[in-house]
Chains A and B, each alone.
Chain A
C-alpha cells in the first residue's frame, strides 16, 4: 500500500485505520482508505429519472457507468450545492455478487489520516443527526470529532430500491 515503510512495524503493535477525511458543510467525515479508488472533480453527470434525489445521476468513469450519490441528501439534508471544491470520491464496496463502484459527492476533500483504532469510539445513540447504522464510529482528533462512515450501509442498494418505489407511487 501507500503507507510509508516505517509505519509497518508500528501498525503491528497498534491497529490503525487509514482514512480519507472530507467535509459536508462544517462536519468532518471519514471513510477507510481501502474503500477509496480515486477522487475526481465534479463534472457533467447524467440524471437518471425516477430515482430519489439522493442519487444525483451517473458519470462516465473511463468507460464504466458509475452512479453518483449526493451524500448530504442521503443524510437527509438539502441537496449539495455545487461549489469550487465539490468532489466525487469514487469508492468500492464489496457486495454479495460483485464489487459495487459508486461515486459520493462531498463538499471538499481534506486529507488522509492515520486513525488509531483505539481512538475510534462507538457512535452515540443520538446527536449525530444520522442513522446510527451509517456510522462505524467516532474518532476524536485534534481538529474535533470525525464521523467514520460504514459505507456498506450508506450505499445499501435496498434503501434506494425503496426510494424508487416511493417515487413511482408519487408519480402515479
Chain B
C-alpha cells in the first residue's frame, strides 16, 4: 500500500466524518444539551486533525485545531450551544469539505471564494473561544510543562566539577513495570543517542524477600553518558516515565551544588551515593568532600521542586468519567465486522458472475439440445448454484439508501432558512437497500425534487396559516421495496400542483392539443416534459438551469420511472421507482418477428393467447384495447410499434405487464420463458434511444434488447394523444388501477 492510497483513505474517511459531524450538529440544533452529539462533533474534528497531521496537511490541521479548541470548550460547558454556534460550525464543516476536495485533487470551481472564507471563519471561531467563561474550580488545570530541570539552563556555572560526561541519575518508581515500561528499554534507547560510559545499578531499595512484590520495580541507575545530543533529546528519552520516576540530568561540568542536591536527595543515603559517584568517576574524591562539607554547613535543600509528580485526581472523578464514556458505546460495535473492499473488485466480481450466467445459459441450451437426461439434470443443478451465486454477489453491492438521504437534513435546514420557511424533514425507510451504483446516481435527482418541493411545494408561513395549516411544513422522504423495485417518495404537505395552470401552460407550449382531456396524472406528468419548466419558476434554488425533464431523464437512465400524485391544497408526492440493481435481473424472453426481447420479469403479471377475433381487429394498429375479464386493457402491438418485419406466427400472445398501478398488454409473437438477464449497456450511440433500457446476451450468443416498458407505454400514449387530438379524448394508453 502506498502513501497515495492512504491519502485516498484519509479523504474518504474525512468526508464520512464531516457528514457525521453535520448530523450531530443538526441533532444539537434540536437539543442543545445533547452531550453525545457534542462529543461526536468534537471527535470528528479531532480525528480529522489527527490524521491530517500525518500527511503534513498544515492548512487543514491549523484550521481544525482552532475548531477543536472551540469544541473542547463547548464540551466543557464553557461555551454555550446556540444557533449561531451551530451555523458557524456547519460553515466550518463546509470549508473543511472544500479543503478535503482540494486534497483529493478535485477541481473546485469557486476555490478562491471558498478560500476567502478562511480568515472570517477563523476570526469567528476565535471570537467564540474568547467568549468562553472561566472554568469552574473542578476543571481548573494549568497546562503542565515538563518538570523544571534540576540545573540552571544556561549562564555561568558556579564551581563546576571536572566530569565531562552527562550524569544521569534514575530511580524508577515501583509502578513502572505495571505501566508496561521496561527500564532496560530506556537504557537501550539512550544507547542510540550516545555512549554509556559507566553504569551502576542500585538495588538497595529492594526489600526483604518476604516483603517484595515481584511486580514492583526497585531499581535505580547512575549513568555517565557521553553524547553530542542536545539536552532536550536526552531528556526526552524519559518522557514516558517522567511521572513515575526521579530523573536527574546533569550536563558535563555541572556545578558541584547540583551534585550535592543529587546526593542529598538520594534514597540510598548520602554516603552511599557519594561513593558510587566517585567510583563511577563522575566526581573526584575531593569534589565529594567539598560537596559534603557544604551540605553540613547549609540547611537541607528544598525538595519540593524535585518531587515526583503525583496524579492527584480523586477516584470519584475517574469513575464518573468512565461511566460517561461507557454510555457512549453506540450501536456501532457491528462496524468491526466489516471489511473495506475496493469497489472495482466488486464490480469485477459481478461482471464475472454475469459472464458465468451467460455461459451457463449457453451450456444449458446445449445440454437440452443433446437430449441427454443426466446432462440436463446436471446442468440444471449448476444453474441453480449460479443463480444463488448471482444473488449473493449482487447483495454484496447492496447498500442502504440512507447513505443518499444523509445530506438532506442539512439541505432542508439551510434551504428553509434561505426561503424563510419552517420545514420539518421526516425520513423513513432509510435502511431500505439497493445497488450502490444506483444510490450514487439517484442523489442528484432526489436533491432536485427535494429543493423543488421546498421551493414550489411548501407554502410560506403566512400562506399556510391563512389556509389553516400548521406553520411548519413537512417534507418526507420515504423508501420501500415493492415487487423487485425500490420506491422512493418525496412528499410534501404544500399547496399541491395546480392542474389548470399546468394544462394551460402545456397547451401554450404545444405539449397538449386543445380540448384533449387528460387524467390528473397525465397532466401532472407534463411537468417532466422538456421545455415545460419556465423562467418564472426558476429561482436560485431549484432553478440552476435544469428542469424536471432532466430529473426524469436521469431516472430513466437508471431504468426507473417517476410519477406524481398531487391534491391541490393538500400536498404532492413524487414517486420514483427504480430497479434494485443495474447488473443482472430476472427477465422474461419474448419474440416479435425475428427478434427476441427481454421484459423485466417483475413487471410481468400474466400471459394469454390473443383471441382470434381480437387478432383480426388489431392488425396493423400499434395500439388497441383488449377485453380482459371485463376490464379494458390497453395493448401495444410491438410488431407495429417497433416497425419489425418478418414472419408472423399463427398465434399471437399478450403479456400483461404492471408497473406502479398501471397495466398494459404487449402483443408479441412467441413467449420464450424466463431468462436470467445480464444487463449489458448499449453503446453511446444509443444514448438517446427511448424504449430500450439495455441489452443482454442470450444462450445462443445473440444479442437481445431489454424493453423499457414504462417509457414505451408512455411514449405510445403521448404519440397517440398528439395524433388524435380532440377526438377520442382521455383515452391515453395505460389503464389506471385503484391503488
Contact = CB atoms under 8 A, between A and B. Distances in A.
Nearest to B359: A63
Contacts of B192: none
Contact of B695 (A58, A165, A172): A58
Interface residues of A, number: 34
Interface of A: 44-51, 55, 57-60, 63-67, 69, 95, 97-98, 100-102, 155, 157, 160-161, 164-165, 168, 171-172
B703 A164 contact: no
Interface of B: 355, 358, 595, 642-644, 680-692, 695, 697, 701-705, 719, 722-723
B683 A101 contact: yes
Contact of A64 (B680, B719, B722): B680
Which interface residue of B686, B687, B691, B702 has the most chain A CB atoms within 10 A?
B686
B636 to A, nearest CB: 13
A61 B661 CA distance: 39
Contacts of A97: 684
- Main secondary structure, interface of B, reads mixed
Contact of B688 (A63, A65, A100, A165): A165
Contacts, number: 86
Which interface residue of A44, A60, A165 has the most chain B CB atoms within 10 A?
A60
A50 B684 contact: no
7 contacts: A46-B704, A48-B705, A58-B683, A65-B697, A67-B682, A67-B683, A100-B685
A65 to B, nearest CB: 4
B687 A60 contact: no
A60 B685 contact: no
A155 B723 CA distance: 34
Contact of B643 (A49, A57, A102): A49
Contact of B642 (A50, A98, A102): A50
Contacts of B684: 95, 97-98, 100, 157
B177 to A, nearest CB: 63
Contacts of B682: 48, 58, 65, 67
Contacts of B686: 48, 51, 67, 160
Contacts of B722: 172
Contacts of A98: 684
A157 B697 contact: no
Given A50-B642, A51-B686, 18 more contacts: A45-B703, A46-B705, A47-B644, A48-B686, A49-B642, A49-B643, A50-B690, A50-B691, A51-B689, A58-B683, A60-B697, A60-B701, A63-B355, A65-B683, A65-B697, A100-B684, A160-B686, A164-B690
B680 A47 contact: no
> What are the 8 tightest A-B residue pairs by CB atom distance, in nearest-first order?
A49-B642, A46-B703, A161-B688, A65-B680, A67-B683, A172-B719, A65-B695, A160-B685
B685 A55 contact: yes
Nearest to A95: B684
A97 B595 CA distance: 31
A161 B687 CA distance: 8
Contacts of B702: 44, 46, 60
Which interface residue of B643, B683, B703 has the most chain A CB atoms within 10 A?
B683
A172 B723 contact: yes
Given A46-B704, A172-B722, A66 B687 contact: no
Contact of B685 (A44, A46, A102): A102
Which interface residue of A58, A66, A101 has the most chain B CB atoms within 10 A?
A58
B683 A66 contact: yes
Contacts of A164: 688-690
Contacts of B704: 46
A98 B704 CA distance: 23
B687 A157 contact: yes
A46 B704 CA distance: 7
Contacts of A60: 697, 701-703
